[in-house]
Amino acid sequence: MDASTQTCARALLEITPAIVQAIRVRMRAARLHELSVPQFRTLAFIGRHPGCSLSDAAEFIGLTLPSMSVLINGLVEAGLVLRQTSLLDRRRVTLNLTGTGASVYAHALEGTLAWLSQQLEPLPEADKQTVLRAMEILRPQFLTNTDATPIVEATHA
């Protein structure tokens, strides 16, 4: 294991939790759209993968199936997500955003993004580019391929 890998790992381990904690605090402070970080990420996933299953969401977010089931409970009770039994396989569950869910997500995204942008704004352009490139580099390492979910039966009223 070369030194640069170690240094890089150490920096990631130090910085990324701090960033996420800052995001968490900011999201909690904005009482308007009461979403936890996992809830927010789950809404984003469902938005990108209408009709996905519970397992899909659990694997992507990094939660166990029971935990995701509970998380989805909360989102369903809040009226943000629609949980329906799949017609193709009645063991499976089909997840979709409700209109409210989509708009709550959009609002949370907008608010968090505005705040985050404000934090980044003073950085020189080159630095922003570096950060952006770094995120693109890390994406495939830590985000199980986002677009593997077959988008079938997205809606079936």
Question: Which of residues 87, 89, 128, 148 is near its own copies by CB under 8 A?
Answer: 128
Residue 65 or 132 with smaller CB distance to its own copies? 132
Which of residues 65, 70, 106, 143 is near its own copies by CB under 8 A? 143
82 interface partner picked from DNA, its own copies, none, CB below 5 to 8 A per type: none
The region, left, alpha or beta by phi > 0 then psi within -120 to 50, assigned to residue 70 is alpha
Applying the rule CB under 7 A, the residues between 44 and 73 that interact with DNA are 53-55, 62-67, 69-73
**Best CA proximity match to 80, nearest among 109, 40, 118:** 40
What is the sign of the dihedral through the CA atoms of 121, 11, 25 and 73?
positive
CB of 146: closest distance to DNA in angstroms?
Answer: 17
* Residues between 49 and 108 that touch its own copies (CB under 8 A): 61-62
Q: Which of its own copies, DNA, none interacts with 145 (beta carbon under 5 to 8 A by kind)? A: none
Q: Which is nearer to DNA, 85 or 103 (by Cβ)? A: 85
Interaction of residue 157 with its own copies, rule CB under 8 A: no
Name which of 16 and 155 has its Cβ closer to its own copies. 16
- Which tokens is 65 given? 């199936």
In the complex, the residues that contact its own copies under the rule CB under 8 A are 1, 4-25, 37-38, 41, 44, 61-62, 109, 112-114, 116-117, 119-121, 123, 125, 127-139, 141-143
